[in-house]
């Protein structure tokens, strides 16, 4: 099976230079990249994809997603989640372990991988839980979980409350050359607050989540990473205090990396229109100052990559209101158009910068073999119509989740084709 992708625009991630090229994909691998100036190749009986006027990029990689299976299939399944990802241009997604049962045994890892294979959409890379049932009391069997295919350890959904537990986890992970990925949240500082501390919480008489509840864990874990030598990766950074700590840690040569979500780059608590739980996620939307700190930190390399934290919930759950609804919003199908429209079209970022944060950067940080458009690389590819423009309509989502704050936003840059290992897994 072979495919020619003709006349697509490619972007050099170092220089932002754009060039029209033809790509030939054979046996799942990019086997030729030729300049379109050389004229059209003989396509023989290969499948042909016309990418004229479109961007051809290495497939997007999302290192933080929730697929909900096993246990919460009414919110999402591995099949619907991996296909929603493919529709958003993602070819590899790393799924969090807060399922039921938790992804914390070799059996659950094996079943997630088998279901992902069956789905035939984006590649699914499972994280395993740090602690048994994510209860923070006892470490999982890291060696067995790594062997079964876990790519890192995290209790995302909750923070690891005990410093000693986190230190033990980091020591063990470091000895196995595996990363620890942390949802940073000190529970003693949160206690039932649904939104960030600040103007919105005050106006609506809600308890507020303070910035320190995140940053205290970031600071603690940076010290533990320094002591243990582990690769420590901070989930969904949202506060200027966390950024300050990560920036300093990087300057000191501590092995810390970090991610940020589109919503924390685009929305502040003051943008929340009312008591609508589609604006409720963890970490919450913070102040404009925090948003500006996220943008600056991504620009200066303090934050390494963009992730969605795709967190589908049912309409019934989200209808419970701001106080009672679960935290989380979907992300796959809006991530690229949002960032392209709000940062690249406006001239704040180059297209190369955005593509790097969604392809090469996550691949480099986690040592993954994807994220580069080059001969010999796996043909994990995303084709995007940068000129296409339409409104976000949750009814068109492939995800079972409709929980997004971006309904009605007019965005440009919608993916049209996604290939994983040379196979077209999604086309508009």
Ligand X SMILES: NC(=O)N[C@@H](CC(=O)O)C(=O)O
Name the site residues for Zn ion (rule: CB under 5 A): 156, 183, 235, 309
**Based on CB atoms, which residue is closest to ligand X, 54 or 233?**
233
Q: Is 157 in the site for ligand X (CB under 6 A)?
A: yes
Binding-site residues, in ranges, read 64, 66-68, 98, 156, 183, 236, 282, 309, 313, 327-328
Which partner from the list ligand X, Zn ion, none does 168 bind, CB cut-off 5 to 8 Å by kind?
none
The token duo for 187 is 């529970």
Q: Is 409 in the site for ligand X (CB under 6 A)?
A: no
Q: Which residues contact 1 (CB under 8 A, 6 or more apart)?
A: 26, 27, 47, 422, 423
What minimum distance in Å lies between the beta carbon of 193 and Zn ion? 15
- Sites for ligand X among residues 276-315 (CB under 6 A): 281-282, 309, 311
**Based on CB atoms, which residue is closest to ligand X, 104 or 328?**
328
**Based on CB atoms, which residue is closest to ligand X, 281 or 298?**
281
Tell how strand 90-95 and strand 123-126 pair up: parallel
* Active-site residue identified among 62, 168, 221, 309: 309
- Sites for ligand X among residues 175-214 (CB under 6 A): 183
Which partner from the list Zn ion, ligand X, none does 91 bind, CB cut-off 5 to 8 Å by kind?
none
| x-marked contacts with ligand X along 63-82 as a string, rule CB under 6 A | ---x----------------
Which partner from the list Zn ion, ligand X, none does 28 bind, CB cut-off 5 to 8 Å by kind?
none
Asked whether 75 and 314 are in contact (CB, 8 A), the reply is yes
Candidate segments 165-173, 288-296, 320-328, 351-359, binder of ligand X by CB under 6 A: 320-328
Which partner from the list ligand X, Zn ion, none does 371 bind, CB cut-off 5 to 8 Å by kind?
none
Radius of gyration of the chain measured on its C-alpha atoms: 21
Binding-site residues for substrate, in ranges, read 66-68, 98, 282, 313, 327-328
- Of 153, 112, 108, 162, which is closest to residue 135 (Cα–Cα)? 162
What minimum distance in Å lies between the beta carbon of 238 and ligand X? 10
Q: Is 154 in the site for ligand X (CB under 6 A)?
A: no
Candidate segments 189-197, 321-329, 348-356, 400-408, binder of ligand X by CB under 6 A: 321-329
Candidate segments 5-13, 33-41, 324-332, 373-381, binder of ligand X by CB under 6 A: 324-332
Candidate segments 123-131, 188-196, 201-209, 322-330, binder of ligand X by CB under 6 A: 322-330
Which partner from the list Zn ion, ligand X, none does 327 bind, CB cut-off 5 to 8 Å by kind?
ligand X
What minimum distance in Å lies between the beta carbon of 333 and ligand X? 17
Active site residue 380: no
Which residue carries 């039921």 as its tokens? 100
Burial class from Cβ neighbours inside 10 Å (0-12, 13-18, 19+) for residue 403 reads buried
Which partner from the list ligand X, Zn ion, none does 98 bind, CB cut-off 5 to 8 Å by kind?
ligand X
Q: Which of 161, 327, 377, 407 binds ligand X (CB under 6 A)?
A: 327
**Based on CB atoms, which residue is closest to Zn ion, 304 or 384?**
304
Q: Is 150 in the site for ligand X (CB under 6 A)?
A: no
- Distance, in Å, from the CA atom of 428 to the CA atom of 415, rounded to the nearest integer, reads 8
Q: Is 238 in the site for ligand X (CB under 6 A)?
A: no
**Based on CB atoms, which residue is closest to ligand X, 156 or 269?**
156
Residue whose Cβ sits closest to Zn ion: 183
Binding-site residues for Zn(2+), in ranges, read 64, 66, 156, 183, 236, 309
Q: What region, left, alpha or beta, does residue 190 occupy, with left being phi > 0 and alpha being psi -120 to 50 degrees? A: alpha
Catalytic residues: 309
Binding site for ligand X (CB under 6 A): 66, 98, 156-157, 183, 281-282, 309, 311, 326-328
């Amino acid at each position: 099976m072979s495919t020619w992708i003709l006349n697509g625009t490619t972007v050099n991630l170092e220089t932002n230079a754009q060039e029209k090229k033809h790509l030939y994909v054979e046996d799942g691998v990019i086997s030729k990249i030729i300049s379109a100036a050389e004229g059209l190749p003989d396509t023989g009986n290969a499948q042909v994809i016309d990418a004229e006027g479109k961007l051809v990029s290495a497939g997007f990689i999302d290192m933080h997603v929730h697929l909900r299976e096993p246990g919460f299939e009414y919110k999402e399944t591995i099949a619907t989640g991996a296909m929603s990802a493919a529709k958003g241009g993602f070819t590899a997604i790393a799924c969090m372990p807060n399922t039921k049962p938790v992804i914390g045994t070799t059996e659950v890892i094996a079943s997630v991988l088998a279901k992902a294979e069956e789905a035939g959409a984006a590649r699914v890379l499972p994280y395993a839980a740090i602690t048994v049932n994510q209860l923070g009391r006892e470490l999982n069997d890291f060696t067995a979980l790594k062997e079964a295919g876990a790519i890192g350890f995290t209790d995302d959904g909750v923070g690891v409350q005990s410093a000693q537990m986190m230190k033990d986890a980091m020591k063990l992970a470091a000895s196995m050359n595996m990363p620890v990925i942390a949802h940073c949240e000190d529970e003693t500082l949160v206690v039932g607050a649904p939104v960030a501390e600040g103007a919105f919480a005050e106006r609506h008489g809600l308890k507020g989540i303070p910035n320190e509840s995140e940053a205290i864990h970031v600071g603690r874990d940076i010290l533990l990473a320094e002591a243990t030598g582990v690769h420590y990766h901070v989930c969904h950074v949202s506060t200027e205090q966390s950024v300050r700590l990560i920036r300093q840690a990087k300057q000191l040569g501590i092995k810390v990396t970090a991610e940020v979500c589109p919503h924390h780059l685009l929305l502040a608590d003051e943008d929340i229109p009312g008591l609508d739980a589609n604006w409720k996620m963890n970490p919450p939307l913070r102040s404009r100052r925090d948003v500006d700190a996220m943008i600056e930190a991504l620009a200066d390399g303090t934050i390494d990559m963009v992730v969605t934290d795709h967190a589908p919930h049912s309409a019934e759950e989200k209808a419970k209101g701001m106080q009672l609804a679960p935290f989380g919003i979907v992300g796959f199908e809006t991530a690229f158009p949002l960032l392209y429209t709000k940062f690249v079209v406006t001239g704040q970022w180059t297209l190369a910068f955005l593509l790097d944060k969604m392809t090469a950067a996550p691949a480099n940080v986690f040592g993954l073999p994807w994220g580069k458009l080059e001969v010999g690389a796996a043909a994990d590819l995303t084709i995007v119509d940068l000129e296409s423009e339409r409104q976000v309509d949750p009814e068109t989502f492939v995800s079972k989740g409709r929980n997004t704050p971006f309904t009605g936003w007019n965005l440009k840059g919608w993916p049209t084709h996604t290939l994983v290992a040379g196979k077209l897994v999604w086309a508009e």
